[in-house]
Amino acid sequence: MTLLTVMVVDDSEADHFICNHTLKKHNSDINIIAAYDGQEALDILAAADAHPQVIFLDINMPRMNGHEFLEKYSEIYGEEKCSVVVMLTSSDQENDKEQSMAYKAVVDYFTKPLSVKAIDTLCDQNKHIYN
């Protein structure tokens, strides 16, 4: 499976650039929506007609961090068939991992940088990611 539309939530412009570069290696026509904190991501999702297939989510961000985003996102979209979330963070702390993976929407936890191999594995292991 190939990813067609994704959202990247990260406060670092450099991380966006590097992540986008990798995503385009996976699919050169991929549509990437950028958000720079959790609140901006929620605002974009609320206004969007269709949600991205995958949300790549950082943890340490200003205004609304990744954990806070997950809490709100689950409240709003908990039972809906919506995007899956993949954590993409520099944190290798067990408590960050446990806290994130406890949410139903979160299917994987990657430490930066994102690799093409990780995206391919993600697609192979999550056939239910809707198109």
Tokens of 1: 């499976």
3-class DSSP assignment, residue 22: helix
With tokens 């190939």, the residue in question is 2
Tokens of 44: 């974009």
Q: Please list the residues that pair with 111 across neighbouring strands.
A: 89
* 67 near other proteins (CB under 8 A): no
Q: Smallest distance from the beta carbon of 111 to other proteins, in angstroms?
A: 10
Residue of 6, 7, 9, 15 that binds other proteins (CB under 8 A)? 15
* 117 near other proteins (CB under 8 A): no
Residue of 67, 72, 97, 112 that binds other proteins (CB under 8 A)? 112
Residues that bind other proteins in the complex, under the rule CB under 8 A: 12, 14-15, 17-18, 21, 90, 112-113
